[in-house]
Amino acid sequence: MSQYKYLIWAGTGVLVILAIFLMVMIDHVSGTATSTNTVSFSGEGKIFAVPDIAMVSFSILTEAKTSKLAQDSNSEKSKKVVDFLKNQNIDEKDIKTSGYNVYPQYSYPLPTGRQADPVPMGTEPAMYPAPDYYPGNPKITGYQVNQSFTVKVRDLDKVSAVLDGLVTAGANQVNNLGFQIDDLEKVTDEARELAIKDAKEKASRLKKQIGIRLGKIVNFSEGGGGYPIPYMLETKGLGGGTDAEGPSIPVGENEIVVNVTITYQIK
């Protein structure tokens, strides 16, 4: 009797193992079918939007005999520049120090020792040996401080005045200007909606053309983004004084592009 119970328990265990194995295989086959019997469609959404903010990058460079003097001088000029920006109704949160570097300045003494005499015309160079000299060691003659800023100008009507006034206030270099969209996520959402609509329309057309039935969406991917308009600027011509007109800077439009890929299961 006990032998029969053992066989019954053994048989039950085997059936359970077979059932689990069968479920795993079914799930594997189902997953394989889902990943192999698929079709993908790409779509593009494009939005043109007028920028509403400007990003200006500029630097203040100062030199002095000692590091402390250079940094103190730089701090004084930086304060004047920041005060100018605040007078343009630019919030302090929109004025950011993006870099601060202190560089030693070197002088390189001339070589010392006997210099070679010039070689006369028609004379073999070997008769005149190379000069016997050794280069001197470089010496620190001072320090240079370079503090770089990034400022966000929300009133685009003031961009020209800001560019012109920065140099007058003490900025040595106005490096870059870019027009951007402050709420880029909102515009990107609009472009994404257009891209998804484009991909679904392609799927609908192909479904009718080749006679397939589309199932659920099994994958989605996205790429793209906004493209600001950069301007490379030079300090020459800026900071001409209070009577001088600032540079004319057209704003234009930014292009925001989103590309999506939608993958459907084929029924």
- How do residues 197-220 score in pLDDT, each as one tens digit? 999 999 988 888 888 888 999 999
**CA 253 – CA 247 distance, rounded (Å):** 19
At 247 the pLDDT is 63
**Which residues on neighbouring strands pair with residue 254, listed in sequence order?**
49
- Output the pTM of the full model: 0.62
At 54 the pLDDT is 94
Report whether 104 contacts 66 (CB < 8 A): no
Task: Find the mean pLDDT for residues 105-123.
Answer: 63
Residue 123 has pLDDT above 70, yes or no: no
Q: Based on C-alpha coordinates, what's the Rg of the chain?
A: 36
At 90 the pLDDT is 95
Give φ, ψ of 244 to 5 degrees: -80, 145
Task: Find the mean pLDDT for residues 141-157.
Answer: 95
